[in-house]
Amino acid sequence: MSDDALPRATDRLVLRRFAAGDLAPFQSYRRDSEVGRYQGWSTMDDAGAAAFIARMAVAQIGVPGEWFQIAVAEKSTGVLVGDIGIGLDPNRTGVAEIGFSMAPAAQRRGMGSEAVMAALALLFAWADVEIIEGITDARNMPSIRLLERVGMRLDRMQETLCKGELCTEHVYSLTRGQCQKHVAPLASNNPR
């Protein structure tokens, strides 16, 4: 994926690289137990979070086998309200995975859907991707509803360990062909 894929604007949000000023809002929502309840990541101390932000600020986008986190900021204020992870599967050509975390203040306002739709459009426009998967804990109903809202379809269920607990994951997917009616208008969005 080209490094000039970011920033990418939507009506209310900007998907961009992380910046040093994102540390406080990042730590605020990433330390929230409800935000992290079904996530694969763990909280970090400030030094670890600052190092993560610095790494993502310059990381190459779309390297197979390496996750890249995209900062999601409110367009009007520039304040970080979430992040979206993208990962290209190194073992399955043309397959990517997407994950998302949103600050509580950004939830139930459609911002998560808006950000995920923009990220889906970004992946289909800038990467050689044919299928994007979203994997969520079966108990995470807000995440399930978001994935369905953006046009993803339930493909399969699988058992896994999450934070030491046996759980069922729902694997949703969206193909390039299926995305046309959901995210095609965003794919041509001028990111500047």
Is residue 182 helix, strand or coil?
Answer: helix
Residue 155: which of 177, 183, 176, 134 has the closest Cα? 134
Residue 39 lies in a domain: yes
Number of domains in the chain: 1
Q: Is residue 126 part of a domain?
A: yes
Q: What is the CATH number of the domain that holds 155?
A: 3.40.630.30
Q: What is the pTM of this model?
A: 0.88
Is 46 domain-assigned?
yes
3-state DSSP assignment of residue 70: strand
Using CB atoms within 10 Å of the CB of residue 188, give its burial: 0 to 12 exposed, 13 to 18 middle, 19+ buried: exposed
Q: Quick check: is 192 in a domain?
A: no
Q: What backbone phi and psi angles, to 5 degrees, belong to 148?
A: -70, -35
Beta strand 95-102 pairing with 131-137: parallel
Q: Is 153 exposed, middle or buried (0-12, 13-18, 19+ CB in 10 A)?
A: exposed
Q: Is 119 helix (H, G, I), strand (E, B) or coil?
A: helix
Examine residue 164 and state whether it is found in any structural domain, yes or no: yes
Strands in the chain per DSSP E: 8-9, 13-16, 68-74, 80-88, 95-102, 131-137, 153-162, 165-175
Name the 3-class secondary structure at 75: coil
Contact 113, 60 (CB under 8 A): no
Distances (CA, A) of 86 to 45, 67, 82, 95, 96: 23, 6, 14, 11, 7
CA distance 74 to 81: 7
| 161 inside domain | yes
Range of the domain at 135: 3-187
Q: What is the pLDDT along the chain (192 residues), one digit of tens a residue?
A: 666 789 999 999 999 999 999 999 999 999 998 898 888 888 999 999 999 999 999 999 889 999 999 999 999 999 999 999 999 999 999 999 999 999 999 999 999 999 999 999 999 988 889 999 999 999 999 999 999 999 999 999 999 887 778 889 999 999 998 876 655 444 344 433
